[in-house]
A and B are shown apart, each in its own frame.
Chain A
Amino acid sequence: MNNQQAAEDLALIRSILQATHRRVDPQMFHFIIWGALVLLWYPAENWFDFHPNEIARNTIRIGAIATGTVLSTILGWLSNRRPRLPGSNTRLAAQLGGVVALFIGSGVLFTILIGALHQGGEPFIPILWGFVYALCLVTFGIFFSKDLIPCGLLALAGTAAALAFPAYAGFILGPTMGLGALAAGILAERRVAGLKKETLGDSLD
Chain B
Amino acid sequence: MNDHAHYDFDEVLMSRARLAILSALVSSGEMEFTAVRDLLGLTQGNLSVHASKLQQSGYLFIRKDFVANKPRTTFEITSQGRSALVAHLQKLKAILGEHP
Contact = CB atoms under 8 A, between A and B. Distances in A.
B79 to A, nearest CB: 15
Nearest to A20: B27
A6 B98 CA distance: 11
A204 B16 contact: yes
Contacts, number: 111
Given A12-B23, A17-B26, A88 B35 contact: yes
A203 B24 contact: no
Using C-beta atoms within 8 Å of the partner chain, give the interface range for chain A: 20 to 34
Most A C-beta atoms less than 10 A away, residue of B4, B39, B42: B39
A200 B40 contact: yes
A23 B25 CA distance: 12
B27 A21 contact: yes
Given A10-B89, A12-B23, A199-B40, A87 B35 contact: yes
A3 B40 CA distance: 24
Interface in A1-41: 1-4, 6-7, 9-10, 12-13, 16-17, 19-21, 23
Interface of B: 1-5, 7, 9, 14-17, 19-20, 23-24, 26-32, 34-36, 38-42, 46, 67-68, 85, 88-89, 92-93, 95-96, 98
Interface of A: 1-4, 6-7, 9-10, 12-13, 16-17, 19-21, 23, 81-83, 86-92, 199-205
Given A1-B9, A87-B24, A204-B16, 20 more contacts: A1-B7, A1-B14, A6-B92, A9-B19, A9-B88, A9-B92, A12-B16, A12-B19, A17-B26, A20-B24, A20-B26, A82-B67, A86-B32, A86-B39, A90-B30, A91-B27, A92-B28, A199-B38, A200-B20, A200-B39
